[in-house]
Amino acid sequence: MTVLIGGAMSLTSVLLKPAQDKQVELDTKKKILGAVMDISTFNTPEEILNLYKARVKSVVVDIEGEIIATDEKGNPLIAEKVNAQKNHKIDREERLYPIYMILNESDPNVVEAYVFPMFGLGLWDWISGYVALESDLNTVKGVAFDHKGETPGLGARITEEKVRNRYKENKKIFSDAGNLESITMVKGEGITGLSMHEVDGLSGATITAKGVNKMLKEYLGCYQNFIKNTKGQNGIAIN
């Protein structure tokens, strides 16, 4: 009986995997697009996937900001297939860094925004994010956060549109001198007089906020060479 049940569960897992993989792909692409634009009016998965295909180009880079086309076995590297959680466990010098470029609707040779995925730890479990920068690779265009196990109504609020919109208030990741400052969620809520590198905090969710801050600081630091290289080259070739 144990063997039969185990076999049935294994078969079910195999049969369901393609559908599960498709859902993961859809969720990932929705988050990438959602960091840049409002996709709430799209009603079907096909609409999301078609928009993604038309407007997004992805690459994988190393810590030096150089594009990596293949892995050590010569297989093509696909940004969408890089597992953020597994990748996070690798030393930052050895990680793969996916980058998503949002192309202009009228001219696909023009990059409107760059989306940088990142991963970290909240209060109870992992948190993740996509930070979109304008074509100047400095001004935040939008963010999309996700979490596992954060407290409802507190740390879980990082997914709320109201919180995400705070990062769109002309916030910048570099100082006027060109130094990486990242964006810091301050302690407390309802704070005024914030700088271009600060956003309002989350009352009662200090640890989650610290996790978000650490995640942004770490990963923007890891993407910094790509950002500086790309700005120096006036963008990267789209083909």
**What is the chain's Cα-based Rg?**
19
Contacts of 184 (CB under 8 A, 6+ apart): 197, 198, 199, 213
Give the pLDDT confidence score for residue 205 in this predicted structure.
Answer: 85
Reported as half-sphere exposure (CB side, CA atoms, 13 A), residue 157 has a value of 19
Mean pLDDT of 165-175: 96
Q: Classify residue 59: in a domain, yes or no.
A: yes
Mean pLDDT of 38-59: 94
Q: Classify residue 61: in a domain, yes or no.
A: yes
Calculate the dihedral angle through the C-alpha atoms of 30, 32, 36, 40, rounding to the nearest 10 degrees: 10
Q: Which helix (H) or strand (E) covers residue 8, if one does?
A: helix 2-34
Judge whether residue 7 has pLDDT over 60: no
Q: What percent of the chain has pLDDT over 70?
A: 89
Give the pLDDT confidence score for residue 2 in this predicted structure.
Answer: 61
Give the pLDDT confidence score for residue 193 in this predicted structure.
Answer: 93
First-to-last alpha carbon distance for the chain, in angstroms, is 56
Q: What percent of the chain has pLDDT over 90?
A: 73
Domain count, the chain: 1
Give the pLDDT confidence score for residue 228 in this predicted structure.
Answer: 95
pLDDT in tens, 106-163: 999 999 999 999 999 988 899 999 999 999 999 999 999 999 877 777 788 999 999 9
Q: Classify residue 207: in a domain, yes or no.
A: yes
Mean pLDDT of 68-87: 93
Give the pLDDT confidence score for residue 25 in this predicted structure.
Answer: 86
Helix axes 45-55, 2-34, angle to 10 degrees: 50
Domain range for 132 is 2-232
Q: Classify residue 168: in a domain, yes or no.
A: yes
Q: Classify residue 237: in a domain, yes or no.
A: no
191-to-7, 157, 166, 168, 201 alpha-carbon distances in Å: 57, 17, 12, 16, 8
Q: Classify residue 238: in a domain, yes or no.
A: no
Q: Classify residue 206: in a domain, yes or no.
A: yes
Find the range with the poorest average confidence among 17-26, 50-59, 230-239. 230-239
Q: Classify residue 28: in a domain, yes or no.
A: yes
DSSP letter at 62 equals -
Mean pLDDT of 14-36: 79
